[in-house]
Structure 1
Amino acid sequence: MRPSLWAEAVKLTGSTVGRVGSVAVVAGIAVLSGAMLAAAASGDPQLLAKLGPAATRDWNGFLLAAAQITSAGGLLGFGVVLSWIFGREFGDGTITGLFALPVRRTTIAVAKMLVYGAWAVAISVCLALLLLLVGLVAGLGVLTADVWTALGRQVVLGIMTAAIAAPVAWAATLGRSVLAGVSVAIGLVVIAQVAVLAGAGGWMPLAAPALWAISSGQNVTPLQLGLVLPYVAFFTLFTAAAWRTMQLDR
């Protein structure tokens, strides 16, 4: 497992997609959150009405905006990187070489997922730190216990948002392309939004993390949030199984 983890880590950190994806998720969400903060300071009644609860120029409004952006934009960003991790082997033609390695393909798939998970944790922590810096520069006030709790919740939201992108790995494997995974990532964003509008709420794993973060943990029960774990495990196992039974003649 260790050689596979090392190989996948080198692939991700040395790739353009890995670097651009990291910057896009961290800097992109931070910039958009800052833009919403600036919009809240404009005093435009119509704009404030559109921003809703995020219209307050304080830590609460700022981190609420960040959570909303992370739940949608972050899911797409994480999904694109995950799709590349699993789909690049087919696009670059390196999948043939993987069959020749004395390593089980299931091990390779699990290593890819573990490296993705470690990257997602690092990205989520970096995003929270950058949001903290933006908030301090904007002069949002004293860092109270509630602010630190919200920042911690932002980290957890980032990790869970990356986790619920798990079907992308399966799609990229079955479709044998990065595009197949990206298409599913876009679909996941749409499904999450529709689920919220349909009233599925916390019972929908795709929507539960966002609702949990936006409501400060009030509108989603631990049981509902816990459904994310079997959801991720299900698609991880299916992805590993797809790699185990993979054939080169199709």
Structure 2
Amino acid sequence: MNAPIRVEALKLSRSPVGVIGTLALLLGTVALLCGITVALTNGQSDLVAKMGPAATRDWAGLLSAAAQITSAGGLLGFGTVLAWMFGREFADRTVSALFALPVGRGRIALAKIAVYLIWVVAVSLLLGLALLVLGGAFGYGRPDAEVWAGLGRQWALGALTGAIAMPVAWVVTLTRSLLAGVGAVIGVVVLTQVAVLAGAGGAMPPAAPALWAMSRGTEVSVGQLAVALVCAAAFVALTWASWARLQLNR
């Protein structure tokens, strides 16, 4: 299994999609947080009304804003990279070459997912470090226990957000279309936002991680988070099964 993982890691690290996706998630989030902080400093009342708990110039406001950005932007960024990791084989017509390898297609799919999840965790950790630097640069003081707990939730939110994008891999496999995967990413983002506005809360698995992080764990139970992870695991299994039965004559 090590060889397929190394190959998939090399594909991701050397691809423009992987590099741009990483920079967009990190630098894009930092840029948005800086813009929000500048706007709050200038006293823009319309932004204050929209941001809610994030409309404060302190650690709590910074973490709340980061959670809001990650819940939507992170899902879009993670899902797009995942769609590319699976869809490139069909878009570049390299999928036929996989049938000549001594490694089964199911194991290749699992290697793609493993590399993707490692990348998601790494990006989430780097984003947490970036938030520490931002908080210090903005003069928010030394992080206390509550701030460290918030940073932990932010890291967990990033990891969970990457996990709930897993249906995208299955959609790409079924349709053999990269564009269908991107459409699935947008669909998951829209579904999550609609679920939040409709008041479904943690009962809707795609929305559970974001609500858990933004409410500091008060509005979503551990069981609801577990359901989100189970759903992600189910789509991992579906994707593996689809790749294991993959055929060229379709």
**Same fold by TM-score, threshold 0.5 exceeded?**
yes
* 1:77-156 aligned within 5 A: 77-156=77-156
Q: CA deviation at 1:35?
A: 1.4
CA contact (8 A) 2:99 2:105 kept: yes
Say whether the 8 Å CA contact 1:34–1:62 is kept in structure 2. Answer: no
Superposed CA RMSD: 0.9
Q: Name the counterpart of 1:225.
A: 225
| TM-score, length-scaled by structure 1 | 0.98
Please, which moves more after superposition, 213-222 or 173-182?
173-182
Q: Provide the C-alpha distance between the structure 1 equivalents of 2:199 and 2:112, rounded to a whole number of angstroms.
A: 34
Superposed CA deviations along residues 5-58 of structure 1, whole A, max 9, x for unmatched, are 111011001111000000001111121122112222221223211221111100
Amino acid paired to 1:88: R
Partners of 1:197 and 1:92 in 2: how far apart?
A: 39
Higher mean displacement: 171-180 or 3-12: 171-180
Normalising to structure 2: TM-score of the pair?
0.98
Cα distance in 1 between the residues matched to 2:180 and 2:107 = 22
| Counterpart AA for 1:204 | M
Question: Kindly, what percent of the aligned residue pairs are identical?
Answer: 55
Which amino acid is the alignment partner of residue 174 of structure 1? Answer: L
Is the CA contact 2:75–2:185 (under 8 Å) kept in the aligned structure 1? Answer: yes
Pair 1:5-2:34 in alignment? no
The answer as to whether partners of 2:160 and 2:229 remain within 8 angstroms in 1 is no
How far did residue 216 of structure 1 move?
0.5
Matched, 1:209 2:172: no
Instruction: Return 5+ residue gaps in structure 2 as ranges.
Output: none
The AA in structure 2 aligned to 1:157 is L
**3-state SS in 2 of match to 1:143:** coil
What SS is found at the alignment partner of 1:184?
helix
Q: Could you tell me how far apart the structure 2 residues matched to 1:41 and 1:218 are? A: 29
- Take 1:126 and 1:158, find their aligned partners in 2: how far apart are those partners? 10
Distance (Å, rounded) in 2 between the aligned partners of 1:95 and 1:27: 33
Structure-2 residue corresponding to 1:54:
54
What one-letter code is carried by the residue in structure 2 that aligns with 1:26?
L
Structure 1 unaligned spans of 5+ = none
Structure 1 CA distance for aligned equivalents of residues 46 and 21 of structure 2: 33
C-alpha separation in 2, matches of 1:45 and 1:80: 34
Compute the displacement of 1:77 (Å): 0.1
Alpha-carbon distance in structure 2 between the residues aligned to 1:157 and 1:50: 22
Secondary structure at the aligned position of 1:207 is classed as helix
Please tell me the residue identity of whatever aligns with 2:72.
A
Q: Alignment length, in residue pairs?
A: 250
- In structure 2, what is the equivalent of residue 72 of structure 1? 72
Report Cα offsets for 1:156-198 as digits up to 9, x if no partner. Answer: 0000000000001011111112111110000000000111111
Once residues 230 and 140 of structure 2 are traced to their aligned partners in structure 1, the CA distance between those partners, rounded to angstroms, is 39
State the alpha-carbon separation in 2 of the partners of residues 215 and 234 from structure 1: 27
Partners in 1 of 2:139 and 2:173 — Cα distance?
46
- Partners of 1:44 and 1:15 lie apart in 2 by 40
User: What corresponds to 1:197 in structure 2?
Assistant: 197
Once the two structures are superposed, residues 56-85 of structure 1 have per-residue CA deviations (whole angstroms, 9 ceiling, x without a partner) of 100100110000000000000000000000
Q: Secondary structure at the match of 2:82?
A: helix
User: Runs ≥4 in structure 1, deviation > 2 angstroms?
Assistant: 44-47
CA offset at residue 142 of structure 1? 2.3
The C-alpha deviation readout for 1:187-229, integer Å capped at 9, x for no partner, is 0000001111112100111000000000001111111111112
